[in-house]
Amino acid sequence: MGVFCQINLKQPPDGVYHGGDQVSGMVKYGVDEPMDVEKITISLKGMGRVILIKKSGKNSRRFDGKEVYVDTDHILPQGNCTLKGSYEVPFYFRLPEKIPSSIEYTKRQSPFRVKCYIKYYIRLKFEKPGWFSFDNHFRKKITVASPVAPEMSMEPIMYGERSQLLQLFSSKTSTLIMKAEILSSVVPKGGKIEIKSEIQNDTNIVVNGVKIQLLEVIKVKPNGHGEVKFYDEIPECESKTGTIQPEATQIMPIDIIVPPNKISLQNSDIISRDFVVRITTDLPMPHRDVVLEIPVQIGDYFVRNNPPPELQDKNWPPGVGDGASASASADDPPPTYWEAMGEGKKDDESSSDDDSDDEKGKKS
C-alpha cells in the first residue's frame, strides 16, 4: 500500500517568488489500496536555522538559532475517512510581505564552523490513526528572493585609509593614502558598482600592485553568541593593477558587474548577507598591506503599488471547504511511482525538517 503525490506549482516566469506573492498550484495524490486517514493538511512553511560550532582546544560549543517566517496550514476536506483512488485539490497561499530570501550556507573559518539555511516549501501531510502508524510527508521547495530595503547611501560617499610606513635611514614621514568614492552603495541585481579610486604613494617604496575584490559577507547570530562574519570571494569579480612607483599617484575607475545570483539578505535576526568591495594595496615585506573596504547592498528595490487582494477564507477559493474542488475515482489510476516520487520525494530532504514543521511561533 502506498501514497503517491504530485505538488504542481503555478510558478512565476523566473521560478522565483517575492514577499507578498501568491503561491498556488494543484496537489494530485493517489492511494492504490484503501487507507484510513485522520487528517490531510497542506501547508506553506518558511523557516531559518543557524548552527554555529566554536572550537577551543579540544572542546567545542554549539550555538543554535531558529526563526519561523510563515507557517500556514489548511486541513483538506478528505480527512477522517478511508481513501482510495486519485484526488486533485487546488491550493492558494500568500507569502508575507517582509521575509528573507532563500539561502543555504556552510563554511569552516577557524575557530568556527557554520551551517545555516532559510527555506520555504509546500508540504502535504497525511496523518493516520493508531500509535504505531507513520505519517506521510511530501514537500515541494520554492525559492524566495526578497527585494532590498536600502539601508546605505544611494548618493556618492567617500571612504579613505591612511598608513604610515617605517623607513630606515630616512627622517621623512612616509605615508600611503587610499581614497575611494562610490557613486551609490545600493546596486540593483546584476547591476554595476562604480567607484573612483586614488592611491597616493608618498614613500620611497614601490607598491607591488592593487587588488580589487567583491566579497560576500554572511553574518550569523545564534542564541547565546554574538555576531560572526564569514567572508567569501567572488572569483569573477576580482582584478589587479600594476605597480605604483615612489612619490606617484594612481587614479583609476573601478567598475564591477555584479553576478545576477548575488543579492543581499534582510528581514532575519539570525542570518544576513551583504557585500564589500575590498581594495588591497600590496606592499613588499616587511610592510603590511593596506586595505580599504567599502560596504555595498545588492538587490532590486521593489515597491508594490497596490496591496495584494485578500484571498477568500484567508487562503482558499470557494468550493474547497465543501469538497467541490476535490475529485476522487476508484477507477482512476494514481500517478506512477516515478512520476509521483519525482515530484514529491525529491524535495523531501531530511527528517530534520520535521522538527521545524511542528514549531509554531514567532522569531526566536
Going by pLDDT thresholds of 50, 70 and 90, the confidence category of residue 216 is: very high
Between vectors from CA 345 to CA 340 and to CA 351, what angle results, nearest 5°?
155
Is residue 121 one of the residues assigned to a domain?
A: yes
Q: Mind listing the pLDDT tens digit for each residue in 73-91?
A: 998 876 667 777 788 999 9
Shared-domain flag, residues 292 and 173: yes
Higher-confidence position of 98 and 132: 98
Residue 356 has pLDDT above 60, yes or no: no
Mean pLDDT value across residues 172-188: 92
Residue 118 has pLDDT above 50, yes or no: yes
Going by pLDDT thresholds of 50, 70 and 90, the confidence category of residue 57 is: confident
> How far apart, in whole angstroms, are the C-alpha atoms of residue 244 and residue 207?
5
Residue 344 has pLDDT above 90, yes or no: no
Is residue 363 one of the residues assigned to a domain?
A: no
Residue 355 has pLDDT above 70, yes or no: no
Residue 79: the pLDDT is 60
Q: Where are the beta strands (DSSP E) in 246-287?
A: 248-257, 271-282
Going by pLDDT thresholds of 50, 70 and 90, the confidence category of residue 315 is: very low
Residues near 218 by beta carbon (within 8 Å), at least 6 away in sequence? 105, 107, 114, 116, 229, 230, 232, 271, 272, 273
Mean pLDDT value across residues 175-180: 95
Is residue 129 one of the residues assigned to a domain?
A: yes
Going by pLDDT thresholds of 50, 70 and 90, the confidence category of residue 136 is: confident
Shared-domain flag, residues 10 and 133: yes
Residue 232 has pLDDT above 70, yes or no: yes
Shared-domain flag, residues 163 and 293: yes
Shared-domain flag, residues 313 and 259: no
Residue 87: the pLDDT is 85
114 neighbors 52 (Cβ within 8 angstroms)? yes
Residue 342: the pLDDT is 37
Structure letter (DSSP) for residue 345: G
Percent of the chain with pLDDT over 70: 79
Which of 24-33, 41-50, 213-222, 326-335 is the least confident region?
A: 326-335
83 neighbors 329 (Cβ within 8 angstroms)? no
Residue 359 has pLDDT above 70, yes or no: no
CATH number assigned to the domain comprising residue 10: 2.60.40.640
Which of 15-24, 78-87, 110-119, 211-220 is the least confident region?
A: 78-87
Residue 160 has pLDDT above 90, yes or no: yes
> How far apart, in whole angstroms, are the C-alpha atoms of residue 304 and residue 363?
25
Residue 331 has pLDDT above 80, yes or no: no
Shared-domain flag, residues 37 and 126: yes
Residue 364 has pLDDT above 70, yes or no: no
Residue 345 has pLDDT above 50, yes or no: no
Shared-domain flag, residues 93 and 220: no
Higher-confidence position of 131 and 296: 296
> Count of domains in the chain?
2
Instruction: Please say which residue of 259, 283, 298 terminates a domain.
Output: 298
Shared-domain flag, residues 322 and 294: no
Shared-domain flag, residues 172 and 260: yes
Query: Coil, helix or strand for 247?
Result: coil
Residue 325: the pLDDT is 37
Going by pLDDT thresholds of 50, 70 and 90, the confidence category of residue 1 is: low
Higher-confidence position of 115 and 315: 115
Is residue 292 one of the residues assigned to a domain?
A: yes
Q: Mind listing the pLDDT tens digit for each residue in 265-307?
A: 999 999 999 999 999 999 998 889 999 999 999 998 755 555 5
202 neighbors 176 (Cβ within 8 angstroms)? yes
Shared-domain flag, residues 20 and 137: yes
Percent of the chain with pLDDT over 90: 60
pTM listed for this prediction: 0.78
Please identify which residue in the block is written with the cell numbers 594595496.
281
Shared-domain flag, residues 7 and 112: yes
Instruction: Please say which residue of 256, 278, 298 terminates a domain.
Output: 298
Write out the residue range of the structural domain in which residue 140 sits: 3-147+305-357
Residues near 59 by beta carbon (within 8 Å), at least 6 away in sequence? none
Going by pLDDT thresholds of 50, 70 and 90, the confidence category of residue 34 is: confident
